[in-house]
A and B are shown apart, each in its own frame.
Chain A
């Protein structure tokens, strides 16, 4: 028997376990998946928790319920990957051998990376919403907060779901307006990027929204530290932004184990150097990487993991047969952007094509408008929670092709 080992039972790992089970010969392959946490969080839902839209129980389920029968699930932390001898060592000392390894260990926020973040004000006046705990604590804070300077700050350019901080900002604007205290809240968006977003056409749309909603943007601000006494952010250039309530996106890093294993990219963020088209690791040919764990220049998001999943399945089957890895990932990413008051926008892009306006052909539901704010997109966003638990994790094909399509997009 041969062993296919998956590290990480999050979105990407769980999806791959479900896909591979149907494509690998059960008499020839054992499939094992390892994860240190028993809970599976619907991460796109974290955004809604601070505003009371989702209750905590809406977004947590048990990982084991999504691992299919026939796949062996080990609930334990990985110590390191010994790529030269095709083995993985667990914290208990147990060693697993593999013929093929899939790294799907994701990304996590590391507030300790910035001086003054996880300090006296942590979870008092400084919150993140990229963790379950942070999102829940922030919802409690917002219930009674009476206003002041709200600052939303990004610590790095490379973060999970890059539109989430903007969505948070739009939802906060709507939340305070509905609460009747918008006039008492000054909202500032602080980013190391040169604008609200990286792609020009989407940035233009988003800038207009930010202006309409009276949200100040401080671009090119790379935060060095947070002064807890004076309640200010300090940049590497010595500029300052004061806050009463700080909602931060801490530095995002890959799993610590990646560094231990000597597999990290040299920016020290523990993402694994990966061929951006085939998803094969650059160091070992029988190691593949998917989802947030890679260093490919695409968004770290569930939709990307899904599109990568189709490609990776094909390439693993090619690899087993000794064929060239002919499936190529194009960087396809697709996301709804919540803009508040029951509306949202939709963007669709890849490595080479920025988000464009036009129509997005959504089978069954009908075409949706790209780069435009409307109610239908908001419903699409809410519907995605059902799609996630019932279709995406279980490895079913979604009616959206893996490769981005130009159909309906307006290029002029």
Chain B
């Protein structure tokens, strides 16, 4: 997808809109990506976003169930926070790659 122009920086994304470099992420950038998905970020969103980034850094494969066991939200609340595909949208906003659906 088109790179994101943000604070004078050009931030590269892959074909799904995921950041190519997770290190370029910032909370302000998250707000901008979320807005493009029509999501207003609350404190709860950020709690989850930080948790996702932490797990990604640890190399943990991410699934909806794992999020539901994070103690932050259950599956239903996760869907309410990130409608549509919650894991995909949350990963895009958190600036991490698309979670691998195992096949």
Contact = CB atoms under 8 A, between A and B. Distances in A.
Contacts of A192: 64
Nearest to A220: B85
Given A220-B84, A267-B66, A236 B102 contact: no
Contacts, number: 50
Contact of A157 (B60, B75, B102): B102
The B interface is mostly helix, strand or loop, or mixed, namely: loop
B101 A267 contact: no
Interface string A219-251: 010101000000000001100000000000000
Contact of A158 (B63, B78, B84, B88): B63
B5 interface: no
A299 B69 contact: no
The A interface is mostly helix, strand or loop, or mixed, namely: loop
A198 interface: yes
B8 to A, nearest CB: 34
A178 B24 CA distance: 57
Given A220-B84, A224-B76, A297 B66 contact: no
B103 interface: yes
25 contacts: A156-B65, A157-B63, A157-B101, A157-B102, A158-B63, A158-B101, A158-B102, A162-B103, A197-B103, A198-B103, A199-B103, A222-B64, A224-B76, A266-B60, A266-B66, A266-B69, A267-B63, A267-B65, A267-B66, A267-B69, A268-B69, A269-B65, A298-B102, A299-B102, A299-B103
In the A-B complex, the 8 residue pairs with the closest CB atoms = A267-B66, A267-B65, A236-B79, A157-B101, A198-B103, A198-B101, A162-B103, A297-B102
A193 B84 contact: no
Interface string B51-78: 0000000001101111001000001101
A237 B63 contact: no
Contact of A297 (B61, B76, B79): B61
Contacts of B103: 162, 197-199, 299, 333
Contacts of B101: 157-158, 193, 198
A224 B74 CA distance: 12
A387 B77 CA distance: 47
Contacts of A193: 101
A194 interface: yes
Interface of B: 60-61, 63-66, 69, 75-76, 78-79, 83-85, 88, 100-103
B100 A236 contact: no
A268 B60 CA distance: 14
B70 to A, nearest CB: 9
A266 B65 CA distance: 9
Nearest to A298: B102
A281 interface: no
A266 B69 CA distance: 7
A248 to B, nearest CB: 17
A376 B85 CA distance: 38
A220 B76 CA distance: 14
Contacts of B102: 157-158, 162, 198, 297-300
A271 to B, nearest CB: 10
